[in-house]
């Protein structure tokens, strides 16, 4: 059904005359007549009776009217749901328990009036493409492409350097350490079954391991975070890496330990991606909030301490 014909029908009912409906719709009276005639032909009924005072809906027209209004209202709601400034700001956080999710939660607490649509895309490449295509407004990732090689008009800014921690069970030799140097982990079993080829965190940990002579065991299968915590908790030799702002909850009997790393402190670089020219007003608010406000992780890096980031971080 021609939506403009339905809109014209409602306008004629509301105005009572074809001429007045044409003025409201900014079309000619002949165009109004043609639209109504086409709609009547499609429906197989007459919708108006012409009188000296104008046009009056027939019985069929009166029956059709509430449905026509409902159609137009539904179309307007559909348009509002995606119209920048009216729809929610769509942001990819990758995973709901890692640092970007915390940054977005903090932003929402400071700006409760801004509606958010939180999504979790599978990898940085997918997120970057979605930002470029405009299907999402922003995304968090560890951006490995130089700024001048981002696709199209995609822009990025680094918003958080998150320190890494060593996660161990209570029986692990390093469980009681106040801090550990990355080089001291050489020869120890670091288990990270979630690492998959091509993922941004895989690139990060591959370079981290090479820089400090570490061996990261990626053998699986990976049954999820809960299984990983169970295995680490029950082992005296197994450990894994976790971001200082990664939210993990475990039963009291597991008694897991988060050990800071120092000398240097490895940090994971989180960046925010967006598309230049995106008119959503909340996007500017998010970008300004993340770049102007300091973000202190639970395990802050001491002032003046050495840090390590991969060569591709910028």
**pLDDT tens series, the chain, 314 aa:** 899 999 999 999 999 999 999 998 999 999 999 999 999 999 999 999 988 888 999 999 999 999 999 999 888 877 766 666 567 899 999 888 889 999 999 999 999 999 999 999 888 888 888 999 888 999 998 866 555 567 888 999 999 999 999 999 999 999 999 999 999 999 999 999 988 887 788 889 999 999 999 999 998 788 888 899 999 999 999 999 999 998 888 888 889 999 999 999 999 999 999 999 888 889 999 999 998 865 545 555 555 568 999 887 76
Q: Which residue, chain included where needed, has tokens 């009166």?
A: 62
Distance CA 255, CA 168 (A): 9
Map out the domains of the chain as residue ranges: 3-82, 89-308
Query: Which of 3.40.640.10, 1.10.10.10, 3.40.1350.10, 1.25.40.80 is the CATH number of 3-82?
Result: 1.10.10.10
> Model pTM greater than 0.85?
no
Torsion of CA 276, 278, 279, 285, to 10 degrees: -80
Q: Which residue, chain included where needed, has tokens 């920048």?
A: 84
Residue 55 bridge partners (DSSP): 50
Q: Which two tokens stand for residue 78?
A: 């559909």
Q: Which two tokens stand for residue 146?
A: 């130089």
* Contact in structure between 217 and 190 (CB atoms under 8 Å): yes
Distance CA 258, CA 250 (A): 12
Is 89-308 a domain of CATH 3.40.190.290? Answer: yes
Neighbours of 238 (CB within 10 A): 20
């Amino acid at each position: 059904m021609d939506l403009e014909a339905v809109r014209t029908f409602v306008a004629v009912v509301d105005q009572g005359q074809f001429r007045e409906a044409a003025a409201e719709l900014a079309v000619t009276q002949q165009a109004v007549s043609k639209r109504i005639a086409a709609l009547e032909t499609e429906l197989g009924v007459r919708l108006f009776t012409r009188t000296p005072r104008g046009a009056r809906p027939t019985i069929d027209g009166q029956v059709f009217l509430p449905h026509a209004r409902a159609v137009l209202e539904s179309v307007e709601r559909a348009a509002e749901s995606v119209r920048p400034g009216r729809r929610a700001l769509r942001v990819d956080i990758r995973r709901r328990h890692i640092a970007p999710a915390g940054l977005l939660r903090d932003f929402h607490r400071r700006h409760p009036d801004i509606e958010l649509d939180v999504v979790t895309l599978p990898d940085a490449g997918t997120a970057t493409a979605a930002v470029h295509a405009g299907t999402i407004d922003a995304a968090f990732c560890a951006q490995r492409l130089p700024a001048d090689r981002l696709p199209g008009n995609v822009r990025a800014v680094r918003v958080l350097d998150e320190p890494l921690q060593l996660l161990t069970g209570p029986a692990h030799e390093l469980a009681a350490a106040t801090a550990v140097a990355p080089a001291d982990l050489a020869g120890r079993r670091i288990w990270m079954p979630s690492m998959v080829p091509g993922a941004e965190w895989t690139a990060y940990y591959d370079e981290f391991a090479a820089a400090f002579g570490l061996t990261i065991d990626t053998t699986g299968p990976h049954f999820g975070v809960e299984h990983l915590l169970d295995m680490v908790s029950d082992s005296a030799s197994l450990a894994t890496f976790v971001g200082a702002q990664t939210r993990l909850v475990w039963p009291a009997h597991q008694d897991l330990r988060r050990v800071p790393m120092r000398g240097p402190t490895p940090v994971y670089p989180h960046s925010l991606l967006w598309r230049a020219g995106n008119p959503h007003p909340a996007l500017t608010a998010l970008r300004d909030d993340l770049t102007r406000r300091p973000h202190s992780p639970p395990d802050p890096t001491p002032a003046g301490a050495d840090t390590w980031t991969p060569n591709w971080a910028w």
